[in-house]
A and B are shown apart, each in its own frame.
Chain A
Amino acid sequence: EVQLVESGGGLIQPGGSLRLSCAASGFAVSRNYMSWVRQAPGKGLEWVSLIYSTEYGGSTYYTDSVKGRFTISRDNSKNTLYLQMDSLRAEDTAVYYCATALSSGWTLDYWGQGTLLTVSS
């Protein structure tokens, strides 16, 4: 069974750093396209970052608002996806979802339950 479990969210002050984790089971993160999508409270969805599989070169992409501050990565031995977030701002407050595309082309068809990040002093 495919499962994605995010962790690492919490309350952090502006300017701080935090790392989110997404533990995967039922498939290999190294062989699949993985993403982070966020949703600010009461708002819509925003695609934050993606990483291609090793087979496709492992390229990474970031939305402009997080470029230079966030880093997506994976640990194949732990089958886990990460999002390192630095220089956090109030506008980064959101539920962060980890997601992957397994059987729907390049479209996200499996999602975790999300982890809440609150950036506030």
Chain B
Amino acid sequence: EIVLTQSPAILSLSPGERATLSCRAGQSVSNYLAWYQQKPGQAPRLLIYDATKRATGIPARFSGSGSGTDFTLTISSLEPEDFAVYYCQQRSNWPFTFGPGTKVDIK
């Protein structure tokens, strides 16, 4: 099983600041890496797939980078609605796995 590690566990920032979230895989997942946002009581929402592609309807302030084992989700300028938990997920090898999440909260 491919283990995904996310850092930091909690990121405390103010609206307007830049957020940089990291996801590291225990072995190469090529570019088969996605990022999801989840708010309390809601289903996850796909933000980025195949490491760098924005999903339909996702604002341009969200961007993804990386390949192999190291990936980054960047939110260029935090909006109030961006405070949530973010998960990375790999689909390179079954079982497909999620990282433990990074909570972005308001400083």
A residues with CB within 8 A of B: 37, 44-47, 50, 61, 63-64, 97, 99, 103-109, 111-114
Judging by beta carbons under 8 Å apart, are B96 and A105 in contact? no
List B91-105 residues whose CB lies under 8 Å from chain A: 91, 94-101
How many A-B Cβ pairs are below 8 Å?
59
Judging by beta carbons under 8 Å apart, are B50 and A107 in contact? yes
B residues with CB within 8 A of A: 34, 36, 38, 43-46, 49-50, 53, 55-56, 87, 89, 91, 94-101
Judging by beta carbons under 8 Å apart, are B95 and A61 in contact? yes
Complex A-B, nearest 7 residue pairs according to Cβ-Cβ distance, in ascending order: A107-B49, A111-B43, A45-B98, A104-B49, A109-B46, A47-B96, A63-B95
Judging by beta carbons under 8 Å apart, are A45 and B95 in contact? no
Contacts of B99 in A (CB 8 A): 44
